[in-house]
Amino acid sequence: MLDRRYLKNNKEDVSTRLKTRGEIPNLEDFWALEQKYGELLLQVEGLKARRNKVSAQVAVMKRNNEDANKLISDMQLVGEQIKALEVDLNQKEAEAQQYLLNIPNIPHASVPVGKNEFDNPEVRRWGILRAFDFPPKSHVEIGEGLGILDFERAAKISGARFCLYKRQGAQLERALINFMLDLHTRQHGYCEVLPPFMVNPQSLIATGQLPKFAEELFKMADDNYYLIPTAEVPVTNIHRDEILEEEQLPLSYVAYTPCFRREAGSYGKDTRGIIRQHQFNKVELVKFSRPEDSYTQLEILLHDAEMVLQHLEIPYRIITLCTGDLGFSAAKTYDIEAWIPSQQRYREISSCSNFEDFQARRAAIRYRPKGGKGKPVLVHTLNGSGLAVGRTVVAILENFQQADGSVIIPAALRQYMGGMEKIG
């Protein structure tokens, strides 16, 4: 959510910067709404001030056994006026709130202007693409060949976009989760948390999935809970409605969770394999920082995520999402894309974003400047995948496949696989 006052006072600036996202915001309506709201608020508060004052007088008179009936009947009228105005006021307030909740974040000045994913500039590449002396197979072929990925039975159990991992496949997934958690906690200083996988609507509003993207979420039919689409939701909400101490910042959390997404609107995309699933595992990094540090923290976050791929010896590249490709809540996003040999292209395996105070404002996450003096200030929130586990399995199977259909296990992972060096 954007700052209401900033939005009110900088219509032109906000409007031009939002347009780079491809949004055409109608700020005039909002402005008119705010104007009306302000007037009503002034009226209502004026009347309340009067009533409070008179009520105090009534109290005094009653104590002195004086007759206060005149004042009381006057205030009855004032009470009715207040009630009538408040109906209008509350409606304006709700409208303004709805409006604000549906406006995306403003891109950071360093974000390249562009229309869509084809305008995302590459930042850097890492690793050497392996030269295959045989046609590389897709992870589906490899996984089914080895009997470690079973899509048919998953479809029977659940449906499309699910996968049953078996034997070394299941073990590999588990090994990766542990490897990533250990790396981030032991070497990068993150605090490990294991949050709930179901959350209430408030949490989803705070991080920006609601109200706008309800169709992407799995919702419980009989309870007011949603399955999390990412650990970002429960972990960012750890500090919802809290005032942190400046000394605590930056706070860094790492969490493993499964993620659940309806993938509405992506019919036909990545239908085969485990690239795009309704349920997938992810190790997520979340940071809370002072505003002045958040872009430094974004670089650190990106580095921490990259290190996973470097340890696993998987080639990747970093891109900056352009204004037109930026997610709703993000001010700036780097994607890490791993090399997928069967597709001869890089595919997203991590997304690292700075949300600035966009989520913090929705979630009321603030910190008190040092010394206990001064007003609480909104923190900046950041998060990034570190990494998407299923897609890491894809990258390993494909990049480390052998001509005979077997797969070498990256050295860094072997201690997590009971010393196993090869699958198949």
Judged by CB under 7 A, which of 36, 48, 212, 317 binds RNA? 48
Q: Which of 92, 239, 282, 366 binds RNA (CB under 7 A)?
A: 366
Q: Determine, following the binding rule CB under 7 A, whether residue 376 of this chain makes contact with RNA.
A: yes
Q: How far is the CB of 33 from RNA (least distance, A)?
A: 13
Report how far residue 414's alpha carbon sits from residue 148's, in angstroms, rounded to the nearest whole number. Answer: 17
Query: Given the complex with RNA, which of 34 and 325 has the nearer CB atom?
Result: 34
Q: Which amino acid is at 65?
A: N
For residue 216, indicate whether it is catalytic. no
DSSP, residue by residue, 66-101: ---HHHHHHHHHHHHHHHHHHHHHHHHHHHHHHHHH
Using the rule CB under 7 A, which residue among 58, 85, 249, 412 binds RNA? Answer: 58
Closest by CA to 388, choosing from 328, 272, 309, is: 309
Task: Assess whether 138 carries a catalytic annotation.
Answer: no
Contact (Cβ atoms closer than 8 angstroms) between residue 259 and residue 282? yes
Neighbours of 122 (CB within 10 A): 11
Give the x-and-dash track for 79-98 against RNA (CB under 7 A): x----------x--------
Residues 147, 168: contact at Cβ < 8 Å? Answer: no
Minimum Å gap between C-beta 245 and RNA is 10
- Which residue from 33, 72, 193, 412 is in contact with RNA, where contact means CB under 7 A? 72
Position among 9, 19, 26, 59 found at the interface with RNA (CB under 7 A): 59
Figure out which of the listed residues 129, 243, 264, 403 binds RNA, where binding follows CB under 7 A: 243
- Let me know if 406 is a catalytic residue: no
Contact 107, 326 (CB under 8 A): yes
State which of residues 5, 70, 124, 269 lies at the interface with RNA (CB under 7 A).
Answer: 5
From 294, 342, 351, 353, active-site residue? 351
How many chain residues bind RNA (CB under 7 A)?
A: 33
Minimum separation from the CB atom of position 205 to RNA (A)? 14
Let me know how long the chain is: 424
Using rule CB under 7 A, residue 45 touches RNA: yes
Alpha-carbon distance values, 106 to 7, 20, 164, 354, 357 (Å) = 11, 9, 40, 11, 11
Three-class SS state of 181: helix
Could you confirm whether 186 is annotated as catalytic? no
Q: Are 388 and 280 in contact (CB under 8 A)?
A: yes
Name the active-site residue from 348, 368, 406, 414.
348
Of 50, 240, 276, 317, which is the active-site residue? 276
Tell me, yes or no, if 351 is annotated catalytic. yes
Cβ-based nearer residue to RNA, 75 or 210: 75
Q: How far is the CB of 42 from RNA (least distance, A)?
A: 5
Query: What is the distance between the alpha carbons of residues 172 and 280, in angstroms, rounded to a whole number?
Result: 14
Is 75 an interacting residue with respect to RNA (CB under 7 A)? yes
Mark the segment that binds RNA (CB under 7 A) among 64-72, 206-214, 231-239, 340-348.
64-72
Cβ neighbours, 10 Å, residue 383? 29
| 369 forms part of the interface with RNA (CB under 7 A) | no
Nearer to RNA by Cβ, of 211 and 369: the residue is 369
Asked whether 126 and 315 are in contact (CB, 8 A), the reply is yes
> Considering 17, 161, 261, 362, which one is annotated as catalytic?
261
Which of 247, 404 has the CB closer to RNA?
A: 247
List the one residue from 49, 194, 220, 411 that touches RNA (CB under 7 A): 49
Are 294 and 284 in contact, with CB atoms under 8 Å apart? no
CA distances from 167 to 44, 77, 226, 250, 347 (A): 67, 76, 31, 40, 26
Outline where 230-293 has alpha helix (H): 232-236
Structure tokens at 262: 């309806």
Q: Which is nearer to RNA, 41 or 155 (CB)?
A: 41
**Which residues are marked as active site?**
261, 276, 348, 351, 391
Q: Which residues of this chain interact with RNA, rule CB under 7 A?
A: 4-5, 38, 41-42, 45-46, 48-49, 51-56, 58-59, 62, 68, 71-72, 75-76, 79, 90, 243, 366, 368, 371-372, 374-376
